[in-house]
Structure 1
């Protein structure tokens, strides 16, 4: 088991990868630097290996797929994930890792938004999107994570080995944040500096398509993690719509004793039934989610037991 594993997912980062690996070797000399190349068409893998990183390949395209592979293959006491584009300074890594090793944090978030992000980032819609996503998730999940979509994070062994990676692309950071909040894991924020990509280095993000993916991910995860809130909100919406169309029918019946709009009355009745079904579906799924949380705690205990076994094995092998 590594003491510290620095995880760097990369796709066509030949302009910056040598500097990134060198910076991390200086900042955390005891760490093992892993670069996972995701089908780069440039010299990213070669340059990373020359700089001293352990280079591995992930052939399924997408950052989520790379992180899934990393989390499966690497055992470490603390993990630090960082992008290969040289936007995150390495000098903040020590504090983030120490919070995992000494404060038992499960996830430490490198908070760009409280420092230089809005000044350094030259894409205004990215600024708007980050703020919108942060406010939405903190409101829906009642938390105070300062930067939902940062790629600079530290993790504990238990987080890495119990986190189910479902997203394939850049929405993976949003999924990590929601998972940690929902499972009541210890999340801490460290304010970091952010610098924009150096000249000649191109971002792989698409403002609009990736933004829509993130919003869809939030909706999907809210439905999965908070089904009672999701489906009761849907039931409330159906009830309001049905009531709006039903009121004129009721008023006409009260005045004349007649129901001239039977089709409207029938449709309203079916909409009310759909609202009731939606409410009960939310209640049923909420019970299932609660059971899953209990099962997760059992899986967490088993993961901790495995972690302690690995530590004991490493200690016995190191003894003369």
Structure 2
């Protein structure tokens, strides 16, 4: 059984050597891959000298790096971790065991159950993590402890079926929603988190990347649960129409006259729009069910490909 450790890397010359050597010690049988994403420092050279298999990804952004990793590398277990040495490697063996035993298609390295909020000095990042976690758990009826962690494990089936659309750091959120929506097996393990060492700078922008993550959650909620999403939109429009229509109707009952004709026309138009939106949701719901059926067939093909690779090895 082959395990691959995947390390996206952008300007991490201060920490990349330690990350590689720690994983070589913890998982000596694993192949360590570092994908350098246009670093302007010595990250590429240091990673290569540390014994990693180093490749370049010229399209900027973590999502682009992970896309290339999943396409290029065949393994039974993938363990992805950031190159900034903020995650302890002690949980790697447990992550590997869960994936190789078939108990998980995605293993989440849960930072938030440990000392994350003490170690992470960026106050708004803590708030953002809590907000995103709560939003996804409510919208997708889950109970996950950490949504945006950078340390995860994946099965072959997940890696080869995951259609990556995010280009940057919102990919962690996209992975989680993809797993929940497609009924993949998810497990969580606690991982040690420590803040970056002095001189190592985060690539995240609190406000810009936070807005991207929230926008992604909304768009994926619309795409994965269209009937619910468009039903909510319909309900909101009907409430707005009712607010404007009821005073006109009450006045008609008491006087026998219809006043504020333009307002009545506007309310009627909103009702028509609401009905159209609702039936759009119904149509998209049917299309989504058909897509899920095709996706299950695709997963069967992925499983067949995996067996062929195992027989070849």
What's the TM-score bracket when you normalise by the shorter of the two chains?
over 0.9
Which ranges of 4 or more aligned residues in structure 1 deviate by more than 6 Å? none
1:66, CA displacement in angstroms? 0.5
1:227, CA displacement in angstroms? 0.4
Counterpart position of 1:80: 79
Residues 90 and 191, structure 2, Cα contact 8 Å, conserved in 1: no
Q: Deviations over 1:138-178 (max 9, x none)?
A: 11001112110001000000000000000011000000000
Give ranges in structure 1 of 5+ residues lacking alignment: 315-320
1:104, CA displacement in angstroms? 3.4
Counterpart position of 1:42: 41
1:103, CA displacement in angstroms? 3.6
Counterpart position of 1:228: 227
Residues 248 and 258, structure 2, Cα contact 8 Å, conserved in 1: yes
Q: Does 1:144 align with 2:136?
A: no
Give ranges in structure 2 of 5+ residues lacking alignment: none
Q: Give the number of equivalent residue pairs.
A: 313
Counterpart position of 2:110: 111
Measured in 1, the distance between the counterparts of 2:103 and 2:141 equals 22
Counterpart position of 1:97: 96
Counterpart position of 1:13: 12
Measured in 1, the distance between the counterparts of 2:274 and 2:70 equals 41
Measured in 1, the distance between the counterparts of 2:282 and 2:180 equals 21
Secondary structure at 1:40's aligned position in 2?
coil
Measured in 1, the distance between the counterparts of 2:103 and 2:221 equals 27
1:256, CA displacement in angstroms? 1.3
Q: Does 1:292 align with 2:276?
A: no
Q: Deviations over 1:270-296 (max 9, x none)?
A: 100111111111111011111111111
Counterpart position of 2:277: 278
Alignment of 1:1-320 (within 5 A): 3-314=2-313
1:259, CA displacement in angstroms? 1.4
TM-score by length of 1: 0.97
1:44, CA displacement in angstroms? 0.4
Residues 104 and 156, structure 1, Cα contact 8 Å, conserved in 2: no
Residues 87 and 194, structure 2, Cα contact 8 Å, conserved in 1: yes
1:258, CA displacement in angstroms? 1.2
Secondary structure at 1:56's aligned position in 2?
strand
Secondary structure at 1:76's aligned position in 2?
coil
TM-score by length of 2: 0.99
Q: Deviations over 1:217-239 (max 9, x none)?
A: 00000000000111100000000
1:260, CA displacement in angstroms? 1.9
